[in-house]
């Protein structure tokens, strides 16, 4: 579904990605691990066209994404949940969700179905629907960011550090949501520092170091042998 082939990317003159190759198949969860600063978030931003791609190819369902703006990618079925969440802090929870719901081609009846599905996954958002996004707790804001991606009914979600800074109870809920999305057939590219969660949620895992993919293996293999994880992540 999503293919990155020898992708290079720069921030100005700083060369960050040095030929990253990753593949995410339809409906699978793929983990992307690595220490801070190795290029994981930049990889997601390169997919979304938010950093300067200076080499290689990124394709979605066989279509080259070069030159497409982020909103164009959303229409193709690619949703992004950034590390900073980026909810609209002055808008209510429902208004945040409507930024994805109120789109051309979606009937009023379908909007209600999609919204109800999100509320089933995140009942707290139903309770907070008239509350400003900026007044939510960190965990609730993360749920809202994921829910806002879900209402787009994407084929793939790029999740960037969804559990960062969250309490264990919230981390468990995020794990359940990743599982539910997978059960619904949504593909996920999961960038995480939480190694146990990634190895549990993902079918395959890529490990990055210094702007390159250094290792790729089934998650089950990495769970059985922690040597590679220790070598690249020190845990």
Nearest alpha carbon to residue 7 among 216, 215, 211: 211
Residue 16, in any domain of the structure: yes
pLDDT of 109 strictly over 80: yes
Q: Which residues contact 168 (CB under 8 A, 6 or more apart)?
A: none
**Average of pLDDT values for 8-34?**
96
Roughly what angle, to the nearest 10 degrees, separates helices 138-150 and 108-121? 140
For residues 47 and 63, the answer to whether their CB atoms sit within 8 Å is no
Q: Please, what's the largest Cα pairwise distance for the chain?
A: 52
Residue 226, in any domain of the structure: yes
Q: Which range, of 60-64, 91-95, 228-232, averages the lowest pLDDT?
A: 228-232
The distance of Cα 230 from the centroid of its chain, to the nearest Å, equals 24
Helix (H) / strand (E) containing 112:
helix 108-121
**Domain count along the chain:** 1
CA distance 50 to 125: 29
Residue 177, in any domain of the structure: yes
- Give the model confidence (pLDDT) of 200-209 as tens digits: 999 999 999 9
For residues 67 and 144, the answer to whether their CB atoms sit within 8 Å is no
**Average of pLDDT values for 47-70?**
94
Predicted pLDDT of residue 40: 96
φ/ψ region of 234 (left if φ > 0, alpha if ψ in -120 to 50, else beta) reads left
For residues 210 and 18, the answer to whether their CB atoms sit within 8 Å is yes
Residue 142, in any domain of the structure: no
| Domain of residue 13, CATH code | 3.40.50.300
Helix (H) / strand (E) containing 22:
strand 14-24
Structure tokens at 105: 């081609």
Structure tokens at 151: 């209402």
- Give the model confidence (pLDDT) of 159-197 as tens digits: 999 988 888 888 888 899 999 999 999 999 999 989 999
Predicted pLDDT of residue 84: 82
Tell me the average pLDDT of the chain: 93
**Average of pLDDT values for 27-52?**
95
- Give the model confidence (pLDDT) of 149-162 as tens digits: 999 999 999 999 99
Structure tokens at 188: 């996920």
**Average of pLDDT values for 53-63?**
96
Band of residue 114 on the pLDDT scale cut at 50, 70, 90: very high
Residue 102, in any domain of the structure: no
pLDDT of 212 strictly over 90: yes
Predicted pLDDT of residue 134: 93
Band of residue 210 on the pLDDT scale cut at 50, 70, 90: very high
Predicted pLDDT of residue 166: 85
Name the residue range of residue 78's domain. Answer: 2-86+156-233
Residue 133, in any domain of the structure: no
Residue 58, in any domain of the structure: yes
Residue 118, in any domain of the structure: no
């Amino acid at each position: 579904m999503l293919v990155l082939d020898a992708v290079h990317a720069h921030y100005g003159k700083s060369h960050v990605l040095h030929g990253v190759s990753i593949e995410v198949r339809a409906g699978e969860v793929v983990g992307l691990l690595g220490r801070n600063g190795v290029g994981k978030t930049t990889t997601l931003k390169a997919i979304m066209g938010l950093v300067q791609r200076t080499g290689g190819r990124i394709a979605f369902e066989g279509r080259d994404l070069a030159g497409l703006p982020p909103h164009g990618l959303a229409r193709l079925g690619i949703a992004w949940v950034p590390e900073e969440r980026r909810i609209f802090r002055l808008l209510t929870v429902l208004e945040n969700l409507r930024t994805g719901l109120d789109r051309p081609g979606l009937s009023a009846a379908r909007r209600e179905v999609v919204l109800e599905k999100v509320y089933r996954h995140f009942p707290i958002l139903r309770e907070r629907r008239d509350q400003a996004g900026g007044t939510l707790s960190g965990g609730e804001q993360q749920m809202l960011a994921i829910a806002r991606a879900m209402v787009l009914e994407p084929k793939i979600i790029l999740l960037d550090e969804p559990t960062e800074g969250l309490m264990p109870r919230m981390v468990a809920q995020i794990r359940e949501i990743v599982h539910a999305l997978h059960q619904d057939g949504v593909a996920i590219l999961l960038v995480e520092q939480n190694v146990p969660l990634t190895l549990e949620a993902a079918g395959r895992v890529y490990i990055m170091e210094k702007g390159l993919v250094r290792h790729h293996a089934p998650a089950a293999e990495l769970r059985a042998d922690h040597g590679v994880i220790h070598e690249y992540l020190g845990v």
